[in-house]
Amino acid sequence: MAEDVCSTLQSPIEAHGIIGDMRSAALVADNGSIDFCCWPEFDSPSIFTALLDCDRAGVFELAPDLPGARRQQIYLPDSNVLQTRWIDQDAVVEVTDLMPVAAEADALPRLIRRVEVRNGTATIRLRCRVRHDYSRADTQAHASGEDVCFSAEGQPTLRLSATQALRIEAHSAIAVFELKEGECAEFILGGAEDPMVRAGEGQACLDETLAFWRNWIGHSNYKGRWREMVDRSALALKLLTSRRHGGIIAAATFGLPEAPGGVRNWDYRYTWIRDASFTVYAFMRLGFTTEANDYMRWVRDRVGECCDEPARLGVVYGLDGREELPESELDHLSGHGGAKPVLVGNGAHDQVQLDIYGELLDAVYLANKYGEAISHQGWKHVTHIVDKVCSSWHQKDVGIWEMRNPPEHYLHSRLMCWVALDRALRLAEKRSLPAPFERWDKERQAIHDDIWNNFWNADAGHFVQKLGSVELDGSMLLMPLVRFVGASDPQWLSTLEAIERTLVRDGMVYRYRQDDGLPGDEGAFTACSFWYVECLARAGQVEKAHLEFQQLLRYANPLGLFAEEFDRHGHHLGNTPQGLSHLALISAASFLDRKLSGQRTQWQP
């Protein structure tokens, strides 16, 4: 078949599981195809991008020749080891996929694929087609003994080792072989010079990888309802964490559309300061204080806590701390479902978003309350940040959703500036730290009054998204969650009812409805949907919250993973798995479980 012709259809976003070693990750479709992988880092150029193209992109296919089989995917219990199963009239076949967690954080990632026939006899087909540099490089395949190497100028050479004979066709590694019941074949892809890339030792790697993940999740203190979903969310978040640096990427992918065929196809393989407080809360709530503290050390490095002069706080960073993330288009990729342009990099890195100060200070406060105490130098940096908030909270910005319209006065940005001052004052009082209490408290009160005087619209009967508007915004759902307003305050409840009328559809919550400076629409936002559940539970509408939560869980993919958004049928849109979606799930599940159990909610930010 010609190189520029698609032979297979792209799998839906939700038809994928994720494996990873906390340095890189890969998405595996339920047809046995690895459709996405960047190597050797989360944000390195891709080697497999079939999820964003077709035959021109890299792909790693491994499946039995059983076209009528029923297919299933599961994670081996309490792990990030993925198993895809084919159940046919005459055979049952399993492919087990994993990325071993090496002892050294700098070790190169390895993809291990093991296929085993559990019943009957089956013909197995493999095609490994590496395409370096987002499928832009001219990748050549050549034999290296019994292995196949993939190389391109200026790119890292990869090697595929196998327990079955490999041949090369069109610069892809090909194998076709038959396995009988109880027989197994193994394939390992990794660095060309990595001595650990040798097929035949996968069982030991599987055992060690299972032990790692099971030991880690075994330290969770969550014992409530929906434990399996909460644990899966925790495992996904851990998988998205960089062992080398400590940051957590927003999602494993780039370029997946927020609307079918649309232009909203961003790169989420970076760390947003906005997610800081959600991350610390979720890890602390589940008992993973080490992860929360490690993440906060990464955040502190971004604000230059180890330096005398504080650094500028950015919106988004690369895992290695770089601030420049220039956006560029991959015009040669057809996009998922034809959604173009496919973008890498992220233009949000140079935007002004005032809400980040609140998320940062909320995270600092939580980390100090339940984790490591702040250092003297750290507190000096906090005072610098709070002073900046005092002088800038009244300014315009682009808001939490990074709209491409001109800056406005957004309620959420005001709200999080209030959070920054509130948490700094609480922390100073709790730790007896020196602070200009009177000045900070005066500014906190000024923001409080500004929100009530200028963002409450009496005629509409609800809070509004931005100054002078009547629009609603899903980020308003954070108002009671950050304790700005009581969850049962009448004016908040009227706002919640307005959000239900305007932004909620079958439990799925849209971020907003008005023009945002980009063509087309987007889906409902997963994190907002879980915030909505928590708002209902905090308002005492526990039965309604319970039903909405159960419905939302049904929108997970079969593995319990959530992408960034939902379409109108509840199918997944946007980059996946989305960390913020799973952080919001953990928070909603934890609070709702305590309410249903009649427990006092003592664990609070």
User: Quick one: pLDDT at residue 372?
Assistant: 85
CB contact at 8 A, 263 and 569: no
Asked if residue 8 is part of any domain, the answer here is no
CA dihedral 593, 599, 602, 604 (to 10 degrees): 20
Euclidean distance between CA atoms 279 and 318, whole angstroms: 17
Same domain, 211 and 228: no
Same domain, 30 and 123: yes
| Identity of the residue numbered 514 | Q
Same domain, 574 and 587: yes
Containing domain of residue 93, as a range? 13-216
User: Quick one: pLDDT at residue 603?
Assistant: 47
Neighbours of 2 (CB within 10 A): 6
Asked if residue 603 is part of any domain, the answer here is no
Query: Among the three residues 191, 216, 241, which one is the final residue of a domain in this structure?
Result: 216
User: Quick one: pLDDT at residue 306?
Assistant: 55
CB contact at 8 A, 357 and 420: yes
CA distances (Å), 42 to each of 20, 47, 319, 446, in order?
Answer: 9, 11, 9, 42
pLDDT digits 0-9 by tens, 346-379: 988 888 899 999 999 999 999 998 888 899 989 9
DSSP 34-58: EEEEESSSTTSPEEE-GGGSSTTS-
Euclidean distance between CA atoms 572 and 36, whole angstroms: 16
Asked if residue 3 is part of any domain, the answer here is no
Same domain, 238 and 273: yes
Same domain, 84 and 164: yes
Query: Among the three residues 200, 216, 232, which one is the final residue of a domain in this structure?
Result: 216
Give buried/exposed letters for 178-189 (b at 16+ CB in 10 A, else e). ebeeeeebbbbb
Same domain, 300 and 429: yes
pLDDT digits 0-9 by tens, 188-245: 999 999 999 999 989 999 999 999 999 999 999 999 999 999 999 999 999 999 999 9
Same domain, 458 and 325: yes
User: Quick one: pLDDT at residue 47?
Assistant: 98
DSSP 286-320: HT-HHHHHHHHHHHHHHTTTTSSSPPPPPSEE-TT
Q: What's the CATH number where 164 sits?
A: 2.70.98.10
Euclidean distance between CA atoms 233 and 466, whole angstroms: 33
Selection from 109, 191, 177 nearest residue 149 by Cα: 191
User: Quick one: pLDDT at residue 5?
Assistant: 32
CB contact at 8 A, 374 and 405: no
Asked if residue 2 is part of any domain, the answer here is no
pTM score = 0.95
Residue 215, C-beta contacts closer than 8 angstroms, at least 6 positions apart: none
Same domain, 333 and 423: yes
Which of the residues in the chain have pLDDT under 50? 1-7, 602-603, 605
User: Quick one: pLDDT at residue 1?
Assistant: 30
User: Quick one: pLDDT at residue 448?
Assistant: 98
Same domain, 131 and 230: no
Same domain, 420 and 553: yes
Domain total of the chain: 2
* Strands (E) located in 279-425: 316-317, 328-329, 343-344
Asked if residue 386 is part of any domain, the answer here is yes
User: Quick one: pLDDT at residue 300?
Assistant: 86
Same domain, 155 and 281: no
Asked if residue 129 is part of any domain, the answer here is yes
Q: What's the CATH number where 256 sits?
A: 1.50.10.10
Same domain, 322 and 381: yes
Query: Among the three residues 192, 216, 240, which one is the final residue of a domain in this structure?
Result: 216
Euclidean distance between CA atoms 556 and 264, whole angstroms: 22
